[in-house]
């Protein structure tokens, strides 16, 4: 690996219905502001627009997330065994729940890290987002056997691992923690799949989604390793380097870590590719070829570079 390598996912080209889903989820977030008391609405809208990752004037919060994080809802509905009206209606409930789950994941991180001032607007916005999330989740739960129990289990899994995560010693333990920390996303996939698809497909999709989530977490950490080092944040690279060198990380000794960049970069890229390959294979096994191709598109830049650079 050369030090000029910047790890990134490849672009996924969505079809028109996926674009429509993306846009509707953006609108659902803007509509959230209208649920707040009138004096808070403008401030909430301005706050949301600060998350716009593009130079485009159009609000596009969903562009902060790689497409499989929400396109999976489209693919579930695309292969639905239920009638069209039921499928579209319940996907709408799923997309509302997912848009809130993605927003809450980001908002809660920033609040917990102290990056966002805790005031009445932010607290009210978070409360309304959680209420919308739970309302739509409970509707989906009512469509499947034991839905309430499933919701309870996933919500508890989320808080168990986000509020008081277990001690981590290895990169595998670190990677396997992330799916639990996005249990609020996974539950939407689980309930919608249970409702619209044949029996047991939901468990396969949970594996697909978890592998995708792990690949994303590792890529994000690889991109941000210098920031994590500066902040002494124990992320993926920390668990890759040998235990005798972890003191260098804890002391923010950049030179010591930089000397090992080629090694930890190679290991993490391999792990990312492995997780995306797993997601792709499972999707192909379901005969969801176009969904599988999304993971192929994501891993292509990593695979191309690794193939040329090893």
pLDDT 10s digits, 17-54? 999 999 999 999 999 999 999 999 999 999 998 887 66
Please, what's the b/e burial string for 152-178 (b: 16 or more CB within 10 A of its CB; e: otherwise)? eebeebbeebbeeeeeeeebeebbebb
Residue 228: pLDDT over 80: yes
The Cα–Cα gap between 28 and 119 comes to: 23
Q: Tens digits of per-residue pLDDT, 264-274?
A: 999 999 999 99
% of the chain at pLDDT higher than 70: 95
Residue 135: pLDDT over 50: yes
Q: What is the mean pLDDT of residues 49-77?
A: 89
Can you say how many angstroms the Cα of residue 171 is from the centroid of all Cα atoms in its chain? 19
Give the per-residue pLDDT at 310: 44
Q: What kind of fold does domain 16-309 have according to CATH? A: Farnesyl Diphosphate Synthase (1.10.600)
Residue 209: pLDDT over 70: yes
Q: Whole-model pTM?
A: 0.94
Q: Contact, 257 vs 229, CB < 8 A?
A: yes
pLDDT bin (cut points 50, 70, 90) of residue 2 is very low
Q: Tens digits of per-residue pLDDT, 233-287?
A: 999 999 998 888 888 888 878 888 888 888 899 999 999 999 999 999 999 999 9
3-state DSSP assignment of residue 4: coil
The Cα–Cα gap between 196 and 240 comes to: 40
Give the per-residue pLDDT at 4: 61
Please name which of 240, 32, 16 lies closest in space to residue 135, comparing C-alpha atoms. Answer: 32
Give the per-residue pLDDT at 54: 66
Number of C-beta neighbours around residue 17 at 10 A:
12
Residue 309: pLDDT over 50: no
Residue 306: pLDDT over 90: no
Region of poorest pLDDT, from 43-57, 69-83, 143-157 = 43-57
- 304 Rama class: left (phi>0) / alpha (psi -120 to 50) / beta: alpha
The Cα–Cα gap between 182 and 208 comes to: 13
% of the chain at pLDDT higher than 90: 81
Whole-number average pLDDT of the chain: 93
Give the per-residue pLDDT at 66: 98
The Cα–Cα gap between 49 and 40 comes to: 14
């Amino acid at each position: 690996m050369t030090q000029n390598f910047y790890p990134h996912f490849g672009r996924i080209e969505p079809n028109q219905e996926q674009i429509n889903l993306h846009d509707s989820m953006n609108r659902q977030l803007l509509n959230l502001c209208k649920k707040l008391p009138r004096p808070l609405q403008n401030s909430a809208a301005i706050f949301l627009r600060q998350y716009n990752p593009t130079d485009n004037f159009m609000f596009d919060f969903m562009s902060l997330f790689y497409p499989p994080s929400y396109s999976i809802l489209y693919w579930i509905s695309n292969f639905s065994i239920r009638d069209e009206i039921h499928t579209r209606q319940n996907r709408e409930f799923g997309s509302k729940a997912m848009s809130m789950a993605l927003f809450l994941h980001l908002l809660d991180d920033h609040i917990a890290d102290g990056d966002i001032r805790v005031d009445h607007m932010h607290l009210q916005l978070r409360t309304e987002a959680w209420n919308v999330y739970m309302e739509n989740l409970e509707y989906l739960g009512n469509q499947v056997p034991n839905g309430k129990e499933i919701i309870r289990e996933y919500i508890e899994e989320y808080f168990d691992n986000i509020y008081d995560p277990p001690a981590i010693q290895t990169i595998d333990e670190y990677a396997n923690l992330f799916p639990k920390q996005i249990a609020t996303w996974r539950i939407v996939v689980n309930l919608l799949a249970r409702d619209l698809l044949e029996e047991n497909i939901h468990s396969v999709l949970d594996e697909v989604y978890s592998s995708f989530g792990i690949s994303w977490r590792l890529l994000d950490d690889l991109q941000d390793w210098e920031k994590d080092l500066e902040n002494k944040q124990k992320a993926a690279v920390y668990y890759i380097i040998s235990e005798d060198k972890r003191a260098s990380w804890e002391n923010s000794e950049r030179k010591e870590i930089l000397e090992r960049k080629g090694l930890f970069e190679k290991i993490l890229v391999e792990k990312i590719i492995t997780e995306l390959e797993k997601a792709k294979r499972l999707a192909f096994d379901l005969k969801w070829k176009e969904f599988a191709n999304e993971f192929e598109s994501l891993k292509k830049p990593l695979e191309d570079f690794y193939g040329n650079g090893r």
